[in-house]
Amino acid sequence: MTESASASAPASTANLGPAFDCMALALKPRCTVHAQPADEWSVEHVGGHRPGNGEGDGVLVAARRAVGESRPLTLKVDSEIPIGKGLGSSAAAFVAGTAAALRAVGEEPPHDRVFRLAAEMEGHPDQVAASVYGGLIMVPAEGLPMRLPLHPSLRPVVAVPDTRLPTEEARAVLARNLPRDLVIRSLARVAALTAGLISGDPELLAAAHGDEIHEAPRDHLSPEVGRLIEVARRAGAFHAARSGAGPSVVAIVGLEAVDSVSRAFRKAGAEVINDAIDTAGLV
C-alpha cells in the first residue's frame, strides 16, 4: 500500500453532432484526484467546480467501487471542469477517481481497465474513452476505443452558457425507437463527420449538421443551444453541435476562424474554451 497517489483526467466534448454515444474529443480542463489510505472514507472538493447537494459524488463512487468499501481513502478533488454543461465532468471524475484509488492501494491499473470500470459507472462510453485515452476517440460496436487522427487544420471552440442541463433530464426525452429513414440520414451524417474530421474538408463537416436523434429532441430543454450553433456558423465554423447533453456548444473551425468564432460566442454571452485539445488523457 502506498502513502498517497493522484490521477488526472481531461474534460471532453461528445457526439460532435450525429455520432451519438460513440465519438468524443478530449479537452484540456482537468479533474485531478489525490488519494491516500485512511481510517474512514472522506472527500474534499477544492477549486471552483464541485457537485451540489443531491448531485452525488462521482469521484467517491468510483473510488469505492474500484477498491472496495473495506479499504477507505481520503480523497481531495480539484476539478477545472464545469458541472452540468455537457463537458464530461462525471466521466472525468469516474476516470480520475478510479485510477487514483487503485494507485493509492498499490496498483498501477492499465488504461483499458480504468476505461472498462469507469464506462460501467457512467453508463455510456464515449466521454469516458476521451478522458482515458485523450484526443479524438471513436468507440466501436465491439472492442476497445480507437484514436482517430484529427486533421491538424481543425480546432474545437466551445461555448459554455450560464445555464445547466442534467444528463439524466437530457436523456429522458430521447426516443427508444426510431424510423428507418431517420437512421439512414443519421448514418450519412456520421460518415460525413468522421471523414471531415480526418480530412479537414469543410464541405464534409457541413454535411454533418442537423442531428435528429439526440439534438432535435433536446431543443426545447435548452433553446440557447440552437442560437449558439447559428452564431458559430455565421462566424465561420465548418460545423457546430451540442456538446454532450448540452447546453454547451462545440464548433469545429479552421485555424483562421478560432478568434472570430470565439469573439462571436463571447458576444452571445457564453464563456469560451478554445484551442484546447488534450492528447494526454489519463495521467
pLDDT digits (tens, 9 = 90+) for 167-218: 778 889 888 899 999 999 999 999 999 999 999 999 999 999 999 999 888 8
- pLDDT score for 246: 86
Check pLDDT > 90 for residue 53: no
Amino acid at position 67, single letter: V
Check pLDDT > 50 for residue 30: yes
E strands present in the chain = 5-14, 23-37, 42-46, 73-79, 136-138, 146-148, 154-160, 239-242, 249-254, 271-274
Give the span between the Cα atoms of 105 and 35, in whole angstroms. Answer: 9
Assigned C-alpha cell, 198? 480526418
* DSSP state, residue 44: E
Give this prediction's pTM. Answer: 0.94
pLDDT digits (tens, 9 = 90+) for 129-153: 999 999 999 999 999 999 999 999 9
Rounded to a whole number of angstroms, the distance between the first and last alpha carbons of the chain is 20
Helix (H) or strand (E) holding 237: none
Assigned C-alpha cell, 1? 500500500
Say if CB 232 and CB 264 are below 8 A apart: yes
Quick one: average pLDDT of 5-20?
Answer: 97
Give the span between the Cα atoms of 45 and 30, in whole angstroms. Answer: 14
- pLDDT score for 56: 54
Domains of the chain with bracketed CATH: 5-146 (3.30.230.10), 149-274 (3.30.70.890)
Give the span between the Cα atoms of 95 and 237, in whole angstroms. Answer: 31
Quick one: average pLDDT of 70-79?
Answer: 95
Say if CB 52 and CB 87 are below 8 A apart: no
Q: Over pLDDT 90: what percentage of the chain?
A: 81
